[in-house]
Amino acid sequence: MQTPERFSALYFRDFRLFWFGQLISLSGTWMQSVAQGWLVYSLTKSPFYLGMVAAAASLPILFLTLIGGVIADRFPKRNLLLLTQVLSIIPAVILGILTSLKIITVWQVALLAALLGTINALDIPTRQSFLIEMVGRGHIVNAIALNSAAFHGARMIGPMIAGMLITYLGISACFFINALSFIAVIIALSMMKIKGEAKVKSEGVIRDFMKGIDFIKGNREIIRVIVLIAVFSLIGIPYITLLPVFAAEVYHEGAKGFGFLIGASGIGALIAAIGIAAGGNIENKTKLMSVAGLCFSAALFIFSLIKIFWVSLIILMFAGWGMVSYLASANSYIQVSVPDELRGRVMSVYAFVFLGTVPIGNAIIGISADFMGTTNAVTAAGVICIVASAVFARKYLVNGQ
């Protein structure tokens, strides 16, 4: 199928259905994420519990996403995604009911976050490996960029709406609306012609899994990319869990300020994703990854020092641009390097490193913030990310490789 290079993935009907469904559903997901963070902070006033609940949401990904990758290569991916969307409605509805009845506790929030994380451990590698089956290898970079644009467009829209809803309707409204938003993806998946048929004959879970690991071990460039993702996930990205503290205690802007902080990062992320999608294929992915990694790290460090609200919003836009430019480039770099029959497993390793290590990072940032203060913890995280990004970029920017 010949398509224009700019936004070419949207010329595929199945991807178009998937993309618009995603945009609606992800807006609801980000609304729930903001509402959940504000709920935990309202219940506890503690950065430690913010980190712990975020860790509970990500721990299942740490332990189960590699198995999720094996499952994604064995079964029709569309059917798996239909299952995960239906199941994702359950924790959102329960959170909404418990919150509206004013009987919610922080431990219930953590348990429901863990349930959703378990569902996501299957959803994420399936979703990532399904993209190429909808558009083909020639358009995968564009599909990844557009998928990232949907994610971060929702990241811009959802938190801002959530901030207003929390202020005027209450926290529970965000959870109920998120439950409804999953229906959009369910309808889109039901209308697709492609089912993502499995192409792999199983040789046993362990042997299937090790084939994906062996492929990664044999590619040093992929290892370098994944190591920097691990640093960002462990040290850098968890700063997001502390934004309620910044909104309430540093800037004194309340729930609406929290929504705008998340939304500002989402604006930068959306600009990055649309820029990559509009630009077509990325000729030098490693150079873009190098610049983007340094941009995210520097912005994180500067943000920790800023005390003026509107300036912090601008800095977070740069952080969002850098993070998404790196991750989108890394995602496409890995996807075009991997054989089709291993894609689910290799992308499960990507998800494991990107999202699975976040609970450890959330725990670290929560404990660090309690021990040394919120702003000092984020400053230290920024310094570590700058060092790691500089080591990564040295080969591709200084040595010109």
Task: Specify the CATH number for the domain of residue 229.
Answer: 1.20.1250.20
Collect the ranges in the chain with pLDDT lower than 50. 1-4
Question: How crowded is residue 390: how many other Cβ atoms within 10 Å of its Cβ?
Answer: 15
Confirm whether 3 is domain-assigned: no
Query: Residue 346 and residue 209: Cα distance in Å, rounded?
Result: 9
Query: Residue 244 and residue 53: Cα distance in Å, rounded?
Result: 13
Confirm whether 1 is domain-assigned: no
In single-letter form, the type of residue at position 10 comes to: L
Confirm whether 2 is domain-assigned: no
DSSP state string for 29-88 = HHHHHHHHHHHHHHHH--HHHHHHHHHHHHHHHHHHHHHHHHHHHHS-HHHHHHHHHHHH
pLDDT digits (tens, 9 = 90+) for 303-352: 999 888 889 999 999 999 998 888 888 887 787 777 766 766 777 778 77
Work out the burial of residue 190: count CB atoms within 10 Å of its CB; fewer than 13 is exposed, 13-18 middle, 19 or more buried: exposed
Domain count, the chain: 1
Confirm whether 378 is domain-assigned: yes
Contact criterion met (CB below 8 Å) for 34 and 258: yes
- Res 279: pLDDT: 62
Instruction: Look at residue 333 and give its three-state secondary structure.
Output: helix
Query: Residue 310 and residue 124: Cα distance in Å, rounded?
Result: 34
Instruction: Look at residue 134 and give its three-state secondary structure.
Output: helix
Question: How crowded is residue 220: how many other Cβ atoms within 10 Å of its Cβ?
Answer: 9
Query: Residue 164 and residue 158: Cα distance in Å, rounded?
Result: 10
- Res 1: pLDDT: 42
What is the residue range of 346's domain? 8-398
Confirm whether 82 is domain-assigned: yes
Contact criterion met (CB below 8 Å) for 176 and 92: yes
- Res 388: pLDDT: 93
- Res 86: pLDDT: 94
- Res 2: pLDDT: 44
* pTM greater than the 0.75 cutoff: no
- Res 150: pLDDT: 81
CA angle 233, 294, 223 (to 5 degrees): 55
Tokens of 392: 């990564």
297-329 in b/e form (b: 16+ CB < 10 A) is bbbbbbbbebeebeebbbbbbbbbbbbbbbbbb
235: nearest Cα among 353, 71, 127, 138: 353
